[in-house]
Amino acid sequence: MTPTRGFAVVAMIVAVAWPGLSAAGAADAVERLVGALLGDTPLERDLRQLADQIGGRPTGSEANRRAVEWALTRFQEAGVDARREPFEMPVLWLERSATARVEGDVEFAVRAAAMPYATATPAAGLVAPLLDGSRGSADDLARLGESVRGAWLLVETDELTDIPGLFREYVEATRIEERSFAAGVAGVAYVGSRPRDVLYRHNASRGRHNRHPLLVLERGAAQRALRLLRAGRSLRLRATIDVESGGPYQADNVVAEIRGRERPDEFVVIGAHLDSWGLGTGALDNGCNVALVIDLARQMRRLGLVPARTVRFALFNGEEQGLFGSWGYARSHAAELDRHVMASSFDIGSGRITGFFTNGRDELLAVLDRALEPVRGLGPFVNINQPIVGTDNFDFMLEGVANLVANQESANYGPNYHAATDTFDKVDLDRLRLNAAVAAAVIWRFAETDVGWRRHDRAEIQALIDSTDLADQMRMFGLLEPWQSGERGRKD
């Protein structure tokens, strides 16, 4: 579909959704905003610049620093006040290179990627027997017995097709790595889960506390190695991991703001993360939603629409490594959090927004329903009052601030997730514009309407954890302990 035809379709969809909307002033503002966002804006140019010209931008990299400059410039040229807000990253970790070669009875090269926070190997490589670790279960490790000591464990995976598969990957990795390193393996090498030998990088179970070599191997060659092992061949893996690593350092979020006309000291946040992993160019995750956030700010300013409350447009950094930028925001703005009415995150690519997760705050549902009314032609929308862990709403949730996560159709998000294939061409630009319209309607409503809720205290947050699967999700991302210890989240 050409852009022109795409926008024609878009305009039709929206026109259908608007009977009698222009009556009220607020509705009129939403209508103008939506109309502008569906028109000819620099959204696509912005995404091309961020994804193609700057490219993959893990926090701590030169590309990430360029992305910060770029974002500041985009807001400034739109006439929107923006600033860099420093926060501390706990450790530096960037992959320089990773290589792997199967040696022994049969020899061949395998493309490899280091998993986040994997430790470096000696420059000549870590050479060790390669063992069939099957699924890496307790039984699998028991079967291998003492032979796993000092070996590379090759672990099978299912081919990844969707977002539920992704969550299974996270959950399983946690257990596999705990077991394997407890049994004394030298390193874990996963059979890549992505079809067509695509490489990707995921957070390992222990995150920044990992002290072991961890690799993802291209699927086809890794499966070949598994077949050879099962045919009784004796193999070694020679793998090199070269990383740039270091202690704490300062990184920056980019926070832009349109000050409220009536209640400037109350805040509504729309957030997306600026950083990405470095194998692809972070177009779906999360360049497209960065472009959405910038375009929303730009169009509000261009139309002179000033909401009752202050709207903050937050481009967080350090998300991929452990949600550090939004945590930093929560600390820097601690004194204002009582006056944060709502903080939203957009982070599931460019699939259609199907509704929002309200993360345990069912009092948001009624406001959301009203907010989505002007864009109901882009629905149906189903809002779900469940807590979600995995993006920048997390520290707002743990601080008791009402928060939303846009729920989206998976589209092509799963197969390209954190992968070399996450590039500009994967983004559905027409759909992204429609999502911007949905975001605009929601942000405008929350910035305008009277709300009955307040910030939750620690007991209320703990009650949410106790009454849902939140603890399991937090454990999966290594985030339960920081809450329990009081390192992260609202204090008593």
67 within 8 A of 50, measured Cβ to Cβ:
yes
| Residue 286 binds to Zn ion (criterion: CB under 5 A) | yes
Q: Which is nearer to Zn ion, 129 or 349 (CB)?
A: 349
| Residue 392 binds to Zn ion (criterion: CB under 5 A) | no
In sequence order, the β-bridge partners of residue 406 are 356
First-last CA distance in the chain? 54
Residue 444 Cβ vs Zn ion, minimum distance, rounded to whole Å? 24
Selection from 80, 60, 64 nearest residue 72 by Cα:
80
Q: Which is nearer to Zn ion, 355 or 390 (CB)?
A: 390
In sequence order, the β-bridge partners of residue 252 are 86
Binding mask 342-361 for Zn ion (x = CB under 5 A): -----x--------------
Q: Which is nearer to Zn ion, 203 or 358 (CB)?
A: 203
Residue 275 Cβ vs Zn ion, minimum distance, rounded to whole Å? 9
Interface with Zn ion by CB under 5 A: which range of 34-42, 322-330, 340-348, 454-462? 340-348
| Residue 317 binds to Zn ion (criterion: CB under 5 A) | no
**Can you tell me whether residue 108 is helix, strand or coil?**
strand
- CA atoms of 396 and 388, how far apart (whole Å): 12
Sign of the Cα pseudo-torsion (377, 293, 40, 288, in order): negative
Q: Which is nearer to Zn ion, 174 or 326 (CB)?
A: 326
What single-letter amino acid sits at 423? T
Question: What letter would DSSP give residue 284?
Answer: I
Q: Which is nearer to Zn ion, 140 or 285 (CB)?
A: 285
Among 85, 132, 257, 285, binds Zn ion (CB under 5 A): 285
Interface with Zn ion by CB under 5 A: which range of 220-228, 289-297, 339-347, 473-481? 339-347
Interface with Zn ion by CB under 5 A: which range of 187-195, 306-314, 341-349, 451-459? 341-349
| Residue 275 binds to Zn ion (criterion: CB under 5 A) | no
**What is the full DSSP assignment across 23-66?**
GSHHHHHHHHHHHHHTSS-THHHHHHIIIIII----TTSHHHHH
Residue 296 Cβ vs Zn ion, minimum distance, rounded to whole Å? 18
- CA atoms of 477 and 195, how far apart (whole Å): 25
Residue 457 Cβ vs Zn ion, minimum distance, rounded to whole Å? 29
Q: Which is nearer to Zn ion, 49 or 408 (CB)?
A: 408
Residue 196 Cβ vs Zn ion, minimum distance, rounded to whole Å? 22
- Tracing tokens 């399983």 back to the chain, one arrives at 172
Selection from 339, 338, 272 nearest residue 310 by Cα:
339
**What is the full DSSP assignment across 405-427?**
EEEE--TTHHHHTTBTT--GGG-
Q: Which is nearer to Zn ion, 286 or 350 (CB)?
A: 286
Residues found near Zn ion in the complex (CB under 5 A): 285-286, 347
